[in-house]
Amino acid sequence: MVYPFGLGLYYSFTSYWLQYPNRFRFVWFDNYVDLIGEPLFARALEFTLGFTLVAVVVQVGLGLAVALFLHARIPGRGAIRALMLLPLMMPPVITALMWKIMMASTNAGILNYLLSFLGVDPINWFGSTQGAIVSVLIIDTWGNLPFVALVLLGGLQALPTEPYEAARVDGAGPADILRYVTLPLLSPFIVLAVLFRTMDSLRIFDVIYATTLGGPNEATTNLQIMAYQYSFQWYQMGKGMAQAIVLLLLVVIVSYLLMRLWNRAAESTS
Amino acid sequence: MTSQAVLYRRTVRNIAIAVAAVVLLVWTVFPFVWILLTSFKSPGDIISVPPTFTFTPTIDNYAALVIGERGGQYSSTRPDFPRFFLNSMIISIGAVALSVVAGIPAAYALARFTFPMKGAFGFVLMSFRFVPFIAFVIPLYVLYQQFGLYNTHAGLIFAYQLITLPFTIWMLRSFFMEIPLEIQEAAKIDGASWLGVLTRVILPLSMPGISVTVILGFMFSWNAFNYPLMLAGRQTFPVTVGAIQFISYEQVLWGQMAAATIVAALPQLVLSLMVQKYIVRGLTMGAVK
């Protein structure tokens, strides 16, 4: 595993183009410098970071709500919890295809049909730039909301009971208990969910590939899709690899910061 | 507060809970229901406006999947789904088998021995969970072309180790660590070597954990899409890559694609219910009585 990676790192400093092997030269940082002047790179970087931010906020926020809901003793929660495992363990590309069928932009699409009862005009899901971004977000959320919800539900069920009794003795209401007892105690689990969702959102590929392929008008092109296009559609392995390394650095930096946050949260609650 | 107001508030609360539960249930289950329905529809019913819930079911879509490339007048355009399914089985089982064989000694070492750079080794394994696949697949693609591993099961099984091996080592390590040290020490006093401790004490006691690891590793391999997309060809595509073959420039075979997603998802649906029990058993029972 180390050798392929080292080889890839080396490629990122070369003009490796699969169809023109005799143009192979060592070009130092040219591929990286070229990225700075490339408008698509700026947009892909922006989409990568923006999508990750929105996806994490939406999924962790909703996941927390679902976890709190399932933690309360509601009827049928065992069944809901078991059913939520199903989207979680689906192949992401299959999830994307399922939604692609439901998100047909024509009037035959079930989602547009159901939304019409709410007075929503037919949405051009994958055909418009905004629609495509929202579609990818919805599909990704369907597959990964259960992950956040089940991690946080596990956290809720492992919380000690004494702080709750103390808060109740002090006369705290449900909102105060959530704000001052539950959320601080749950913070290591929240950070863990944020860590995993951030890492996966930064490099989301399967869902975008199966639905929009980065389009329309490159609206859903993230760094991984861009690196894929450079290396496997135009066979410019050197440039593609440079983009992959930039993404890798981004992932390493963000994961390092989040892991530090996680350690701090775990220490402060234990 | 009057008793009537309390009753009113309680009713509102119960209705709100019921609505939320139904919304959550529909959001989770409806896509499966709709795709299952679509997979039994004829092409005409699929594009009917408005979408229909009542139709004459047909098994044509599944029949087309089973027939695959053999027979039928569209043999050149029709994805060979039985082969894709078999490929998924071969690659996933092979990847898990290799990971377990290679992962048991590594997990045992991480769980029970101290060695230089142990922390760094564990961290690198953990970080594979977060690595963007494209950084590995580009060099692997070039190497596979050179060494004839492109479009082979063996090549894919090796590439899948990037997914399954770190996972297997990390999971097995956690299960091995649950086994009390006293049992291991007792075996050592009886004259067992480290290999004897591993094969006669650790492995039998962690069988539930190993089963869970194997099943989950199989499921992660089954879900893999991006490595085979670049490193496999039509002869070795797994179901995940096979399912998108129903989208071509000329048309999308919606019905067959729906049937394909159901078939591709089936092992995952069955296994996730199985592992649900195993996870509880594996984590609560363990080896400690």
pLDDT tens by residue, B196-206: 888 888 888 88
ipTM for the assembly: 0.89
Select from A193, A177, A166, A164 the least CA-distant residue to A67.
A193
Q: How far is CA A86 from CA A103, B187, B197, in A?
A: 20, 42, 38
> Binning pLDDT at 50, 70 and 90, where does residue A75 land?
confident
From B14, B33, B67, give the residue that closes a domain.
B67
Q: Is B120 on the interface with A (CB under 8 A)?
A: no
**A110–chain B nearest CA distance, Å:** 6
Q: Out of B20, B38, B67, pick the residue that ends a domain.
A: B67
End-to-end CA distance of chain A: 37
B53 to chain A: nearest residue by CA?
A110
Give all strands (DSSP E) within chain B, no chain letters. none
Quick one: average pLDDT of A264-268?
Answer: 80
* Residue range B2-17: mean pLDDT, rounded: 87
User: Which candidate, A94, A114, A121, A110, places its Cα nearest to that of A211?
Assistant: A94
B75 assigned to some structural domain: no
A54 pLDDT higher than 70: yes
Token duo for residue A51: 């999508």
Question: Is the Cα dihedral B221, B224, B229, B234 positive or negative?
Answer: positive
pLDDT at A201: 95
- Structure tokens belonging to residue B188: 């050592």
Q: Phi then psi for B247, rounded to 5 degrees? A: -100, 115
Return the pLDDT at B288: 22
Specify whether B93 is located in the same domain as B145: yes
Name the burial class of residue A210, with classes exposed (0-12), middle (13-18) and buried (19+) by CB atoms within 10 angstroms of its CB: buried
Asked whether residue B58 is domain-assigned, the answer is: yes
A74 touches chain B (CB under 8 A): yes
Interface of A with B in 187-216 (CB under 8 A): 199, 202-203, 205-206, 209-210
Residue B279 predicted with pLDDT over 50: no
DSSP result, B24-56: HHHHHHHHHHHHHHHHTS-HHHHT-SS--S---
Distance CA A73, CA A66 (A): 13
Q: Are B171 and B40 in a shared domain? A: no
Q: Is B32 a domain residue?
A: yes
The domains located in chain A, with CATH, are 2-269 (1.10.3720.10)
Residues B160 and B275 in one domain: yes
Most confident of B90-104, B162-176, B252-266: B90-104
Q: Is residue B123 part of a domain?
A: yes
Q: Which of B42, B67, B92 is the last residue of a domain?
A: B67
Contact list, A224 vs chain B (CB under 8 Å): 132-134
Express each pLDDT in A120-157 by its tens digit.
888 888 888 999 999 999 999 999 998 888 888 888 88
Is B125 strand, coil or helix? helix
**CA distance linking residue B110 with residue A132, whole number of Å:** 45
Q: How confident is the model at residue B68 (pLDDT cuts 50, 70, 90)?
A: low
pLDDT of amino acid B54: 83
Higher pLDDT, A127 or A58: A58
Residue B2 has pLDDT above 80, yes or no: no
Largest CA-CA distance found in chain B, in angstroms, rounded: 82
| B185 plus B153 within the same structural domain | yes
Q: What confidence tens digit (pLDDT) does each residue in B139-198 have?
A: 999 999 999 999 999 999 999 999 889 888 888 888 888 888 888 888 888 887 888 888
Q: What is the least distance, in Å, from the CA of B222 to any CA of chain A?
A: 7
| Same domain (yes/no): B40, B161 | no
Residues B199 and B163 in one domain: yes
Percent of chain B at pLDDT > 70 equals 91
Q: Give chain B's domain count.
A: 2
Q: Has residue B192 been placed in a domain?
A: yes
For residues B230-244, average pLDDT: 91
Write down the residue that tokens 């090549």 correspond to: B155
Worst-scoring range by mean pLDDT, A24-28, A173-177, B34-38, B64-68? B64-68
CATH number at residue B216: 1.10.3720.10
Check whether residue B50 and residue B165 sit in a common domain.
no
Same domain, B56 and B88: no
Which residue is listed with tokens 């509102």? Answer: B12
Residues B93 and B232 occupy one common structural domain: yes
CB contact under 8 A, A248 and B132: yes
* Residue B57 is assigned to a structural domain of this protein: yes
Percent residues over pLDDT 90 in chain B: 34
Is the confidence at residue B74, as pLDDT, over 70? no
What does each C-alpha distance from B180 to A40, B191, B213, B278 come to in angstroms? 55, 18, 20, 20
The neighbour count for residue B26, using CB atoms within 10 Å, is 12
pLDDT at A192 over 50: yes
Strand partners, A14: A26
Amino acid at B201: V
The closest CB to that of A11, out of B127, B129, B138, belongs to B138
At A52, phi and psi to the nearest 5? -60, -45
Calpha distance B182→A48 (Å, rounded)? 50
Residues B91 and B50 in one domain: no
In a domain, B72, yes or no: no
Tens digit of each residue's pLDDT (9 = 90 or more) over A217-259: 899 999 999 999 999 998 888 999 999 999 999 998 998 898 8
Q: Are B113 and B101 in contact (CB under 8 A)?
A: no
Q: What is the mean pLDDT of residues A25-37?
A: 85
Same domain, B144 and B244: yes
| B50 lies in the same domain as B162 | no
Domain with B197 in it: 81-284
Q: Is residue B74 part of a domain?
A: no
